[in-house]
């Protein structure tokens, strides 16, 4: 926000010469845009590192020197938006767009990365990360390392090509409980940030190996699969209304459909954190539209219509409402090839 510097969910629409953004009410965007960003004369910065706790930012500076900071929910989404926005800014200049394509490809992490292998290298007594004693707010911590030291180590050992990629990789290590935050600085970030912002590339943020880092992983293949599910290509995304499994109430969720592998994740748009609140593999799923003249036994509460159902291979039933029959048909058509 320009007046109150908070972060708000907005629905963005990219046109040829401008970027429109809309408020979301009841899972639908309002008919009139909340604002617009004129792209003529804009400069784009991606990734933007001006907020150390928000590595998924795009910065747009208009020709009147107004700064817009736009945060995406994944690296793939951020890079896709940056590519399309740059294409609009530089319309008629294909060489510059091709250069952005090359930049986008350079942002990718290693395809078959093994966190277990990285941790083994980190623990090596001669070439691993150096563990030191550190002091923070009067407290002494043994065998710790700083966030910036881990970023340096990942780059120097060719696990990442930039600090941006190293932060993403370190976040994965923390999410899988290989490393853990120590002290107020790093612990605070884990409480109030999403996954992509929890690890700090900072010389004052302390970390250490978690106890589980010295234990064998039950299944390396399972770890690889868990990491890969958020790496799939985004096929479709948008706001839908989902019934809860416990309270059976209906809530607006932002759904993201990914392919290779096929996953459907959903996010809470009212929260700043861009971490999925749920999701499931589409392999073996059944998806079908439900007629509006009859409400199934498993559905309760306020049903507006345009309902469809997804049944997972584990027989878990998801009931979802679209805003129109056309939108419902589009979602079903996009999901079916991935089941």
Q: What is the pLDDT of residues 152-178, one digit of tens each?
A: 999 888 888 778 788 888 887 887 778
Domain ranges across the chain: 10-104, 115-214, 228-336
42 CB-near residues (< 8 Å, 6+ apart): 60, 61, 62, 63, 89
State how far the Cα of 34 lies from the Cα of 279, in Å rounded to an integer.
Answer: 30
Nearest to 178 by CA among 242, 230, 231, 223: 223
**306 close to 324: Cβ distance less than 8 angstroms:** yes
Task: Enter the pTM of the model.
Answer: 0.37
Q: Is the pLDDT of residue 114 over 80?
A: no
Is the CA virtual torsion 35, 70, 60, 78 positive or negative? negative
**228 close to 114: Cβ distance less than 8 angstroms:** no
- Average the pLDDT over each of 77-81, 137-141, 221-225 and give the range with the smallest value: 221-225
Strands of the 18-22 sheet, one edge to the other: 11-14, 18-22, 35-38
Which of 68-77, 222-231, 287-296 has the highest mean predicted lDDT (pLDDT)?
68-77
pLDDT tens digit string along 176-218?
778 888 888 888 777 654 445 678 888 888 999 875 334 333 3
Q: Is the pLDDT of residue 295 over 70?
A: no
**Element housing 324 (H / E):** none
- Average the pLDDT over each of 7-21, 122-136, 283-297, 308-322 and give the range with the smallest value: 283-297
Question: Which one is predicted more confidently, 227 or 15?
Answer: 15
**Topology match between the domains 115-214 and 228-336:** no
The highest-level CATH class for domain 10-104 is mainly beta
Share of the chain above pLDDT 70, in %: 79
Q: Which CATH number fits domain 228-336: 2.30.29.30, 1.20.120.1200, 3.20.20.450, 3.40.190.10?
A: 2.30.29.30
Q: Is the pLDDT of residue 100 over 60?
A: no
The highest-level CATH class for domain 115-214 is mainly alpha
Q: Is the pLDDT of residue 41 over 90?
A: no
* Mean of pLDDT values over 91-96: 55
Q: Is the pLDDT of residue 219 over 60?
A: no
State how far the Cα of 27 lies from the Cα of 97, in Å rounded to an integer.
Answer: 34
Name the band, by pLDDT with cuts 50, 70 and 90, for residue 104: very low
Name the band, by pLDDT with cuts 50, 70 and 90, for residue 335: very high
Crossing angle of helices 163-175/147-156, nearest 10°? 110
For all residues of the chain together, what is the average pLDDT? 78
């Amino acid at each position: 926000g320009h007046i109150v510097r908070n972060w708000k969910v907005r629905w963005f629409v990219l046109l040829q010469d401008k970027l429109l953004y809309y408020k979301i009410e009841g899972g639908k965007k309002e008919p009139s845009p909340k604002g617009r960003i004129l792209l003529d004369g804009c400069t784009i910065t991606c990734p933007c590192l001006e907020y150390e706790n928000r590595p998924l930012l795009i910065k747009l500076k208009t020709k009147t020197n107004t700064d817009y900071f736009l945060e995406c929910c994944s690296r793939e989404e951020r890079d896709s938006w940056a590519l399309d926005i740059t294409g609009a800014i530089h319309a008629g200049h294909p060489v510059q767009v091709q250069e952005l394509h090359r930049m986008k490809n350079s942002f990718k992490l290693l395809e078959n990365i093994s966190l277990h292998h990285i941790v083994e290298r980190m623990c090596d007594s001669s070439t691993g990360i150096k563990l030191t004693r550190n002091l923070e707010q009067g407290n002494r911590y043994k065998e710790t390392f700083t966030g910036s030291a881990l970023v340096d180590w990942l780059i120097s050992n060719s696990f990442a090509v930039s600090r941006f990629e190293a932060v993403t990789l370190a976040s994965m290590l923390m999410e899988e409980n290989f490393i853990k935050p120590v002290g107020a600085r790093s612990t605070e970030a884990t409480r109030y940030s999403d996954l992509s912002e929890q690890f700090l590339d900072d010389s004052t943020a302390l970390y250490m190996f978690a106890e589980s880092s010295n234990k064998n992983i039950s299944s390396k293949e399972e770890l690889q699969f868990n990491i890969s599910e958020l790496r799939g290509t985004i096929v479709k995304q948008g706001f839908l209304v989902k019934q809860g499994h416990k309270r059976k109430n209906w809530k607006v969720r932002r759904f993201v459909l990914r392919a290779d592998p096929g996953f459907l994740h959903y996010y809470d748009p009212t929260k700043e954190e861009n971490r999925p609140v749920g999701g499931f593999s589409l392999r073996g799923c059944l998806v079908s539209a439900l007629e509006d003249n009859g409400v199934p036994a498993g559905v309760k509460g306020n049903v507006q219509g345009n309902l469809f159902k997804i049944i997972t291979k584990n027989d878990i039933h998801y009931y979802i409402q679209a805003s129109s029959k056309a939108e419902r048909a589009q979602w079903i058509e996009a999901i079916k090839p991935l089941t």
